[in-house]
Structures are given as C-alpha cells and as structure tokens.
Amino acid sequence: DYTLVIEPVTLEDDAIFQCQVGPGSDGSRELRSANAKLTVEVPTGPPKIRQGSLLSTTEDDEVELDCVSHGGKPAAEVCVIFFPCQFLFLP
C-alpha cells in the first residue's frame, strides 16, 4: 500500500494522477490504475469598483464603473448591481 499525500494543495496540483506497478522480475507485465483527476478550486477575491467607493458626477454625464475581482478557479461571473436611490428625510 502506497499513499501520495499532497499538502498543502496548490493550483499546480490540478492534474491527472495514476498508480503504476512496473514489470516484475518474473516477466509479469506493467500494471496501471484508472486515472484520477484532481480538480483544485481557488476562492475568488472580493469584488471592487475600480473607480472607488465614492463617485460624483452631474446629470447627463457618462459614468463608467469597472467591477473587478481577481483570482478564482473556476472564474467567477462579475456583474454590477444598481440599487435604487433611497432618500433619508430628517426632521
């Protein structure tokens, strides 16, 4: 019984593994196991708006917001969600 221990697992370990036994001195043939695929997932970094968290503009201007997130496997879907304006009335 032989055991392969991978610690810590990294993205480079995302691969196909196989057990093999070489030919014996008695003339027995080489044997191989079925393949085992190790898939390594990596968390996506937190999303950020590249332009910052406080923006100011005037009516009829154009504003471009870039939403970015780094890393991640599988790659994350990034989208921008617009929250309706909420007004706070103080007495």
Quote the mean pLDDT of the chain. 86
Is the model more confident about 5 or about 91? 5
pLDDT score at 24: 83
Residue 58 has pLDDT above 80, yes or no: yes
Could you report how far apart the first and last alpha carbons of the chain are, in Å?
A: 77
Q: What is the pTM of this model?
A: 0.61
Single-letter code of the amino acid located at 32: R
Residue 43 has pLDDT above 50, yes or no: yes
The two structure tokens encoding residue 89 = 């009335």
